[in-house]
Amino acid sequence: MLERIKAWDNRVLTKISAKHTKKLDRLMVIITTSGNNGYIWFALSIPLLLIYRYRLVGYTIILSMLISGLSGEITIKHIVGRLRPCSRDFEKDLLIKHPAHYSFPSGHTTASFAVATVVFLMMPILFVPVLFYACLIGFSRMYVLVHYPTDVIAGVFLGILCGIVAVVVSPYIPFFPL
């Protein structure tokens, strides 16, 4: 079963690699880079933190990224220890700097879907654009060959779980209003 999943992962990445163009390469690098360290999601949360009515939403977005980072980047990646496709199966020049950590699950995708879940549950008016951008970030991670599709799929599910946890616990965690 594991071999079939690996073969599927490689087939999907091979198909994505066949679609590379210079314009798409530039666009995907911009999208994937915007997800580095949650920059795009911090950019979303900061204005929300400044508006009293939406302060809890902004705070919960940040909390969801913290929970997703602790669970995915700090814990699961080191337990699973999966090498990235750019390290093993795809001998190609990377469009971005080779990431230092393991591959499974995709941290960019986990954080993005944690934020999308928070937005869906707390501020649904922003859900469609946030979900669209979260999907773009997940796809970009495969496009630049730093994640397998199963890394991204796991990131989606873990992110949804982290977002739900953040929404449930954020009202009970005191924070300092601005």
pLDDT digits (tens, 9 = 90+) for 51-101: 989 999 999 999 999 999 999 988 998 898 787 777 765 556 677 776 778
- Once rounded to an integer, what is the mean pLDDT over residues 11-32? 88
Q: What is the band of 178 on the pLDDT scale with cuts at 50, 70, 90?
A: very low
- Once rounded to an integer, what is the mean pLDDT over residues 123-128? 96
What's CA 92's distance to the chain center, in Å? 23
90: left (phi over 0), alpha (psi -120 to 50) or beta: beta
CB 134 within 8 A of CB 34: no
* Residue 108 scores a pLDDT above 60: yes
C-alpha to C-alpha distance for 65 and 26, rounded to whole angstroms: 26
Query: In order of start, what are the domains of the chain with their CATH numbers?
Result: 38-172 (1.20.144.10)
DSSP string, 16-36: HHTT--HHHHHHHHHHHHHTG
Q: What is the band of 18 on the pLDDT scale with cuts at 50, 70, 90?
A: confident
CB 161 within 8 A of CB 111: no
CB 178 within 8 A of CB 53: no
- 44: which residues sit within 8 A by CB, 6+ positions away? 58, 61, 115, 126, 130
For residue 160, which of 44, 64, 55 has the smallest C-alpha distance? 64
Q: At what angle do helices 107-122 and 55-68 cross, to 10 degrees?
A: 150
Q: Which residues of 134-144 are buried (b: 16+ CB within 10 A; e: fewer)?
A: bbbbbbbbbbb
Q: Can you give the pTM of this predicted structure?
A: 0.89
